[in-house]
Chain A
Amino acid sequence: MRFAVLQFPASNCDQDAVHALRVLGHSADFVWHKDTSLGAADAVIVPGGFSYGDYLRCGAIARFSPVMQSVRQFADDGGLVLGVCNGFQVLTEAGLLPGALIRNRDLQFHCEHIFLKTANRETAFTNRIPADKLLRVPIAHGEGCYFADEETLAKLQSNRQILWQYCDASGELTDAANPNGALLNIAGICNERGNVAGLMPHPERACEPLLGSDDGRLIFESLFAALEARATPKAA
């Protein structure tokens, strides 16, 4: 499979994403933010970082990049798009995912490993995650507190769009296990159609045992399985 990994000024997880995808046996190419073509990509990764210095709001400027017009078209055509950390923020700012990411409730930047519970295992991003398997993956963000109004939250729940929630080591969704104050302990969601997802944790930094955890592979392996199972539209 071919992945397009976007690069904005001050993206800093783009290399990690490409490395992880290649380690997992797939092809990954960088796509510069000024480009308007995603090449022959089967899926798009919007990586973490601090695009445009996080000026104004995280992701607010990146979402107007030329490449994001192509990503919107790609998503509208049903293509799979995964946003990680700043990539998640970019996708919410672009309106491709509902809600917003705001300052962590304690105003601190959190850089640590957390546990994730998968709330819906029947999506393109979660299908290879075994039942009851908790994912131990790192987070590194200052603005990861997921917010949406009550109506949106209710819709996320009824459509099963909540994919991952912060939990403790025994899988309980406690307040103490919530690193940023996210509503409903939300760490990651998908759109209504199920082809665009975003999460604050970094699965690409947890794909090799050497890095302390390889639980992140399960998210990418889900993507690979979904891509193999469907005829993914090629980007123009």
Chain B
Amino acid sequence: MKAKIIITPKKAVLDPQGKTVQTALAQMGYTGVTAVHVGKYLEIELAPGTDKAAAELALNDAAHKFLSNPVIEDYRLEIE
């Protein structure tokens, strides 16, 4: 069982990495890119037989408290 947490900078937060990557893409000739947001991807392996609902609750708590900073970041949790 695996959980995936995708963390992205909030829209209102300056994202110089995203801007730099966007500029580089344009310079390389990749057109049509209107924005790039650079974030983080965490893959969390869970013990077999873990209760999905309980894991979701616990990981949302961890993501809010520790894995992301709600002041500057949003996150999305997926469990498969």
A interface residue numbers (CB < 8 A to B): 56-57, 60, 64, 92-93, 99-100, 102-107, 145, 147-149, 181
Contacts and interface: CB of A to CB of B under 8 A. Distances in A.
A99 to B, nearest CB: 6
Contact of A145 (B14, B20, B71): B14
A99 B66 contact: no
Contact of A60 (B13, B14, B16, B66): B66
B39 to A, nearest CB: 12
Contact of B12 (A64, A145, A149, A181): A149
Interface residues of B, number: 12
Contacts of A92: 71
Interface string B14-34: 101100100000000000000
A147 B17 contact: no
Dominant SS at the A interface? Answer: loop
B66 A102 contact: no
B72 A102 contact: yes
Contacts, number: 35
B70 to A, nearest CB: 9
Interface of B: 9, 12-14, 16-17, 20, 66-67, 69, 71-72
Given A64-B66, A147-B72, A102 B14 contact: yes
A100 B72 contact: yes
